Amino acid sequence: MAIPTAVKVTPPRIEPFDVQRLRKDFPILQTRINGKPLVYLDNAATSQKPQAVIDSLVNYYRHENANVHRGLHYLSERATKAYEEARRKVRAFLNAKEEKEIVFVRGATEAINLVAHSFGRHFLKTGDEVLITGMEHHANIVPWQMLRDEKGIVLRVVPIDDAGELLTGEFQRLLNERTKLVSLTHVSNALGTVNPVRNLVALAHRQGIPVLVDGAQAVPHMEVDVQSLDCDFYMFSGHKVYGPTGIGVLYGKASLLEEMPPFQGGGEMIRSVTFEKTLFADPPLRFEAGTPDIAGAVGLGAALDYLTGIGRDRVAAYERELLGCATEALEGIPGLRLIGTAREKSGILSFVLEGVHPHDLGTVLDQEGIAIRAGHHCAMPVMQRFGVPATARASLAFYNTFEEIDRLIWGIIKADRMLS
């Protein structure tokens, strides 16, 4: 039988990852430092912003600015629309079931504090256990210690191995009938380890224990689907995902958020107030007291549009190649020890160089226009686990190039020659 000529099979179009074209979207990447082009490798601290995000902030303040959820006037309606549109974008980005599960906060730190305050103080009692891991950022340690000191809960820590991987056997062993919450990071900011969150959530759920996942280092680099993970809380910071500072997201399952008391009191979070009694609003507004960072939310929406426009799968694939190349090159430097060599890793390269303190390395690289982080990365227990006071950390984004990895390597070799 002859194939009708009208039917044509078109092969799927796979666009190459044009990093040079994407770099043009980020004006700050044109910066020169000491006459040398900036090599920005501090993306785990904060990411740079594309023009689309910068424009969205200007546009909001130029054309839409008013307070939200209150005014009857034109601009208030526009601002409210823009703010709630951003919430819709976040819902789609995380594939949350409902918009009311998306609470705008200042960042991942505030989101964890919100859960510790509202969920923790309300539902946890003396002797109850919160299980965290040995690779947490201080933001997922300190709020629980504060709750421990206030409520007498017990904080337990799942240890990690020499590669920086979570000991899942220990995780299972530590789960017990007193465990009332598991709170763990999706991706370690100091080690790059990607935790098998879906499996860990399933293990905790088997015993009816809710799970909080800190996604600050995951969301910029991979697809995150909160329904597929089935976690109970998830949070991230806007500024690490190419959005503005001062805005972040708490995702919480509706069933949990509905049962939780407010975090802060004030305007916006109420249904009615008399001096005798206040009725609180439903989620998400119950947790958004005061005028929110409206422009920040709008900017975050623009950032998520930008990232999904490129494609998170393509970003992840490209960053994986960069990471592989950088890992191999760093391992080739004599005296260099990578801290964090998990099998599943995101683009974070923490390392120490024999005879050269990370601080000195950071200064030498800075003179070359290369921005890295040197220090404990707000993860002092991780540093203690690996017996180092600090590490140097290069962290990748999709706008980094293979040439930039070369420059990093040469910078390290220069520092080594000069200082060791």
Partner 1 sequence: MADLRDLYQQVILDHSRKPRNAQKPKKANRLSEGYNPLCGDQIHLYLELDGEVIRDIGFEGAGCAISKASASMMTASVIGKTRGEALSLFQEFHDLVTGENGNSPSPSDLGKLAAFSGVTEFPVRVKCATLAWHTLRAALEGKGMAISTE
**Chain positions contacting partner 1, by CB under 8 A:** 34-35, 356-360, 363-364, 367, 374-376, 380, 383, 389-390, 418-419
Quick check: 248 and 292 in contact, CB under 8 A? Answer: no
Smaller CB distance to partner 1: residue 111 or 364?
364
**Shortest separation between residue 373's beta carbon and partner 1, angstroms:** 11
State how far the alpha carbon of 65 is from the alpha carbons of 68, 153, 294, in Å.
Answer: 9, 44, 8
State how far the alpha carbon of 139 is from the alpha carbons of 132, 166, 214, 391, in Å.
Answer: 11, 18, 9, 19
* Sheet containing strand 248-252, strands side by side: 102-105, 248-252, 233-237, 211-214, 179-185, 129-133, 154-158
**Shortest separation between residue 157's beta carbon and partner 1, angstroms:** 20
Tell me the Ramachandran region of residue 152: left when phi exceeds 0, alpha when psi lies from -120 to 50, beta otherwise: left
Tell me how crowded residue 374 is: count the other CB atoms within 10 A of its CB. Answer: 19
Radius of gyration of the chain (CA): 23
186: nearest Cα among 172, 196, 176: 196
Tell me how crowded residue 393 is: count the other CB atoms within 10 A of its CB. Answer: 27
**Shortest separation between residue 366's beta carbon and partner 1, angstroms:** 9
28: nearest Cα among 7, 51, 10, 59: 51
Smaller CB distance to partner 1: residue 270 or 380?
380
Smaller CB distance to partner 1: residue 153 or 339?
339
Question: CA 371, CA 358: separation in Å to the nearest integer?
Answer: 12
**Shortest separation between residue 407's beta carbon and partner 1, angstroms:** 16
Smaller CB distance to partner 1: residue 267 or 389?
389
Q: Which residue type occupies 379?
A: A
**Shortest separation between residue 340's beta carbon and partner 1, angstroms:** 17
Smaller CB distance to partner 1: residue 212 or 364?
364
Q: Give the largest CA-CA distance in the chain.
A: 83
First to last CA, the chain: 76
Question: CA 298, CA 82: separation in Å to the nearest integer?
Answer: 6
Q: Which residues are catalytic?
A: 378
Tell me how crowded residue 140 is: count the other CB atoms within 10 A of its CB. Answer: 25
Smaller CB distance to partner 1: residue 146 or 310?
146
**Shortest separation between residue 284's beta carbon and partner 1, angstroms:** 35
Residue with tokens 């399952």: 253
- Distant-in-sequence, close-in-space partners of 242: CB < 8 Å, separation ≥ 6: 47, 48, 49, 50, 53, 220, 303, 306, 307
Question: CA 366, CA 370: separation in Å to the nearest integer?
Answer: 5
Smaller CB distance to partner 1: residue 247 or 352?
352
**Shortest separation between residue 35's beta carbon and partner 1, angstroms:** 8
